[in-house]
């Protein structure tokens, strides 16, 4: 689904990447994490639409965007290429958009900036900060286990989402305050996870950051209550020592659902808006 906000801007309607456009101003593309969708940013949008032309997307194989033509172990690199093409389509001629992302989307945001496709990049709890191969295996195993359990419990997921205990058991890995999540959003996100197959290739992904091309400003923010990429910020000076790091105390792996206002303020600050 595409929502045009300004006839003078490209809307990337030919792109297979499902997206929505909100507000006006410099283009900002928001990229969600694995097994999520563009709705990950719903609570952040109010703090951005008065400053940016915000484009929220569904990554390939997520939400309303179909799977890539082939699902294989090179999927991450091919998704970056597809996102780079999308940025060119959705932006005005000569404009480099700002990008922000979470988890896998955070890795994509940083890589797009480092490869010269974005003006600035803001990453929240980005992938690629594993403590070793064992940590990547543990992280992927968590997602696979949640998907397997969710498929078994699928008939009762709506009932579980109506209770604080149910929401906590379903999304405690991602949110610092899962009991506060909207039940309908929990069900929607759970269904996204159940049908996701991109995660099956998570062990093969290298998540190696490219050398920076150009001068795109990059910033990393990390929710300290992250139970997915546990204490990933401890790896920051080994992975991206030249990129500023800021901790977000009390926020989880998906900080957008814990405190949308704070996340919006971080993006505005990093994009110099």
**Per-residue pLDDT tens digits for 80-119:** 999 999 999 999 877 999 999 999 999 999 999 999 999 9
| Residue 226 contacts residue 253 (beta carbons within 8 Å) | yes
Asked if residue 222 belongs to a domain, the reply is: yes
- What band does 4 get if pLDDT is binned at 50, 70 and 90? very low
Please tell me whether residues 190 and 218 are part of one structural domain.
no
Nearest to 100 by CA among 35, 140, 44: 44
Asked if residue 211 belongs to a domain, the reply is: yes
Please tell me whether residues 253 and 189 are part of one structural domain.
no
Please tell me whether residues 83 and 210 are part of one structural domain.
yes
Please tell me whether residues 153 and 169 are part of one structural domain.
yes
Please tell me whether residues 166 and 116 are part of one structural domain.
no
Asked if residue 201 belongs to a domain, the reply is: no
- What band does 7 get if pLDDT is binned at 50, 70 and 90? very low
Please tell me whether residues 74 and 156 are part of one structural domain.
no
Asked if residue 57 belongs to a domain, the reply is: yes
Asked if residue 117 belongs to a domain, the reply is: yes
Asked if residue 232 belongs to a domain, the reply is: yes
Please tell me whether residues 40 and 144 are part of one structural domain.
no
What CATH number is attached to the domain comprising 35? 3.40.50.1820
Q: Provide the residue range defining the domain that includes 175.
A: 135-194
Q: 121 - beta bridge partners?
A: 99, 218
Output the pLDDT for position 5. Answer: 40
Asked if residue 69 belongs to a domain, the reply is: yes
pTM of the model: 0.93
Please tell me whether residues 42 and 115 are part of one structural domain.
yes
| Residue 82 contacts residue 46 (beta carbons within 8 Å) | no
- What band does 250 get if pLDDT is binned at 50, 70 and 90? very high
Please tell me whether residues 119 and 221 are part of one structural domain.
yes
Asked if residue 254 belongs to a domain, the reply is: yes
CA 57 – CA 145 distance, rounded (Å):
26
Torsion sign across C-alpha atoms 107, 108, 109, 114: positive
Q: How many structural domains are present in the chain?
A: 2
Mean pLDDT, range 10-30, rounded to an integer: 86
Please tell me whether residues 143 and 123 are part of one structural domain.
no
**Per-residue pLDDT tens digits for 165-194:** 999 999 999 999 999 999 999 999 999 999
Which residue's structure tokens are 């970056």? 80
């Amino acid at each position: 689904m595409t929502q045009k906000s300004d006839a003078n801007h490209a809307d990337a309607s030919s792109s297979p990447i499902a997206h929505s456009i909100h507000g006006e101003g410099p283009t900002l593309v928001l990229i969600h994490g694995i097994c999520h969708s563009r709705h990950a940013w719903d609570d952040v949008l109010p703090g951005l639409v008065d400053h940016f032309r915000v484009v929220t997307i569904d990554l390939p194989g997520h939400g309303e965007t179909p799977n890539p033509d082939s699902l294989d172990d090179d999927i991450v690199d091919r998704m970056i290429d597809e996102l780079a093409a999308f940025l060119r389509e959705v932006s005005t001629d000569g404009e480099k958009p700002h990008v922000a992302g979470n988890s896998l989307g955070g890795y994509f945001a940083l890589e797009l900036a480092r490869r010269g496709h974005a003006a600035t990049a803001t990453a929240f709890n980005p992938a690629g900060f594993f403590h070793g191969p064992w940590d990547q295996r543990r992280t992927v195993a968590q997602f696979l286990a949640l998907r397997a359990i969710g498929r078994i419990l699928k008939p009762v997921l709506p009932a579980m989402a109506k209770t604080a205990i149910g929401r906590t058991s379903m999304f405690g890995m991602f949110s610092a305050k899962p009991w506060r999540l909207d039940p309908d959003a929990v069900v929607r996100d759970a269904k996204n996870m159940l049908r996701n197959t991109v995660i099956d290739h998570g062990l093969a992904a290298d998540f190696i950051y490219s050398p920076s091309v150009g001068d795109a400003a990059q910033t990393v923010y990390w929710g300290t209550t992250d139970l997915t990429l546990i204490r990933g910020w401890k790896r920051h000076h080994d992975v991206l020592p030249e990129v500023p790091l800021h901790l977000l105390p009390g926020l989880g792996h998906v900080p957008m659902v814990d405190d949308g206002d704070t996340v919006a303020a971080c993006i505005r600050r990093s994009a110099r808006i």
